[in-house]
A and B are shown apart, each in its own frame.
Chain A
Amino acid sequence: MTVLDVDFAFEYASGAGVACRWQDPVGDARVTVLLGASGSGKTTALRCLAGLERPQRGHIRLGGDVWFDAARRVHLGPDRRDVGVLFQEYALFPHLTVARNIAFGARHMSRAAVDARVAELVETFRLPGLEQRRPRQLSGGQQQRVALARAVFRRPRLLLLDEPLSAVDRPTGDELREELRALIRALAIPAYIVSHDRVDALTLADRTVLIDRGRIIQSGTTQEVFDHPASPAAARLVGVDTILLGRIVEVEGGLARILVADREVCAQAPAAAGHEAALLIRAEDVALARHDVGDSSVMNRWRATVVAHATEGPFVRVALDCGFRLSALVTRDAWQRLALGPGDAAWAIVKAASIRALPRN
């Protein structure tokens, strides 16, 4: 299997930059999402892969082909890397028709072969009847499909997608994401997608790479990364709702008592007593009660005050003050049954096993 071997560092004159390092077998239709906040350097990383930026150090290889090697002074331009790039806001050529946009990458092909390929892509990307339109006469979804058809015209070895869904509003985005997923699977070209939206990673990616402040902080299968964020920064990216920092006061039988503010939290011990720990708690793992449930298996029962609440579909997200901020997600029914409101006292209940405790230096 071909391996994309990436190890480079790129720095802008301003000092900001990005360092990337991974070795990724690129199978037929593997999709990797580079997930990071805006300004984290993920788009820069993609531009380095495409050949639009030249890193100062390191190398980029795909299989036996060297795309970039600082030591050997090799830097293939974007026209020689055989990648398909989908740009943010699509960058369609405004002076060309849909058909000529799609066929822009044609080289050394007969007119008939070009026409046949365009017809094939028009079919795949559901664009019939639009061939002679100009890009500005298309909807957002149609523009995205034209841009993708244009990017895959030459059957590139790698697809690079920069925030493919950021140019549209949310309902349209959800629709386009579905479409994008089906198209990428159908194309069977390995793809790297840059996104700031964890939903993209959860729905599109086989693998997820987390980027924070110019560094890769975690990578692995999407399942791994979302189930086991390796650091508070990773947890923030994948969307764990509450992140607490505390000090381990006692460890016994693998369980730790961790002091957060003036409360005690019980969780699996991430380190020995005396060390700092980060605790990740998902809102869906937090239960609410009006009264203390003393005779239960639950180790963490905290007296709390309701601060605020907001409906999220069939659920209600509740912000609690337990001496620290805690977010809980309960069903609407349960919320009504509890009849709680802002300022009311309640109990927050969290099983020790559903708290992810990480060592902190």
Chain B
Amino acid sequence: MDWVAIGLTVRLAALTTLILAIVGLPLAYWLATSSRRWRPVVDAAVAVPLLLPPTVIGFYILMSTGPDTLIGRLYARAFDGTLPFSFTGILLASVLYNLPFAVRPFASGFAAVDRRLVEAARCLGASGPRTFFTVVLPLSWPAVLAGLVLAFAHTVGEFGVVLMVGGNIPGVTRTIALAIYDDVQALDYAAANEASALLLVFALAVLAVTYSLQRRAPAL
């Protein structure tokens, strides 16, 4: 078993999930509650990775983060490195690619929270963030957890985006999915079989957990 690839995959998935929690929760809350005219545009932008092939997303990330691009130059000046073919690069790619898998469950969970409870909290002197943490989150945590689990699992199984942005560098950007691909190319079916079975069991377990969370309402 390629433990280096497994370790790297878990690290990538964990960091992706963490960033999605920090970025995705406020974004989802905004999407669930805003009535601004351009909200559907943001909604569409968040959901677009669901429809595009991973290679397209990867291609655009590659094109916009190269050393000659604005983002690439800013990144080089700040961190003295390049995004393509680096761990940070595939982390960025997986955050963008996984956005809908986290944000959409979050947003539907938030939208299901009775608006009047939010208004009641505001009228009782609670600020927006305080209302979010004391009322909205306690009433929507199964959806939030489901989103985080889905994002983690989806990152673990991701292939196209990582290959496009990260190449296939052992110990740097080579995830378990890429390792399986390499094993098959090298006709090492035993190794591919082992890793694939591991992913299959993992995926089944995650889905079982997610569905049971979605069925479960917060304990009131």
Contact = CB atoms under 8 A, between A and B. Distances in A.
Nearest to A94: B220
Interface stretch (B93-101, B115-123, B181-189): B115-123
Interface stretch (A65-73, A78-86, A268-276, A341-349): A78-86
Interface string A130-160: 0000101000000000000011011000000
Contacts of B138: 95
A12 B213 CA distance: 38
Contacts of B125: 79-80, 82, 105, 107, 154
A91 B122 contact: no
Given A95-B138, A95-B139, A154-B125, A85 B120 contact: yes
B220 A79 contact: no
Nearest to B121: A104
A52 interface: yes
Contacts of A84: 123
A94 B123 contact: no
Contacts, number: 62
B124 interface: yes
B6 interface: no
B119 A52 contact: yes
A79 B123 contact: yes
A136 B119 CA distance: 19
Interface residues of B, number: 19
A77 interface: yes
Nearest to A105: B124
In this complex, which of B117, B119, B125, B139 has the most chain A Cβ atoms within 10 angstroms of its Cβ? Answer: B125
A306 B28 CA distance: 65
Interface in A42-86: 50-52, 77-80, 82-85
In this complex, which of A78, A80, A92 has the most chain B Cβ atoms within 10 angstroms of its Cβ? Answer: A78
Interface in B134-167: 134-135, 138-139
B135 A93 contact: yes
Interface in A254-301: none
Contact of A77 (B116, B122, B219, B220): B122
A87 B119 contact: yes
A100 to B, nearest CB: 10
Interface string B182-220: 000000000000000000000000000000000000111
A78 B127 contact: no
Nearest to B138: A95
A52 B123 contact: yes
Given A95-B220, A136-B220, A85 B123 contact: yes
A145 to B, nearest CB: 16
Contacts of A134: 220
Given A87-B116, A95-B218, A150 B124 contact: yes
A78 B123 contact: yes
Given A50-B123, A77-B122, A154-B125, 10 more contacts: A51-B123, A78-B119, A79-B122, A79-B125, A85-B123, A89-B116, A93-B121, A94-B220, A104-B134, A153-B124
7 contacts: A79-B124, A91-B119, A92-B120, A94-B117, A104-B121, A104-B124, A105-B126
Interface of A: 50-52, 77-80, 82-85, 87, 89, 91-95, 104-105, 107, 134, 136, 150-151, 153-154
Interface of B: 114, 116-117, 119-127, 134-135, 138-139, 218-220
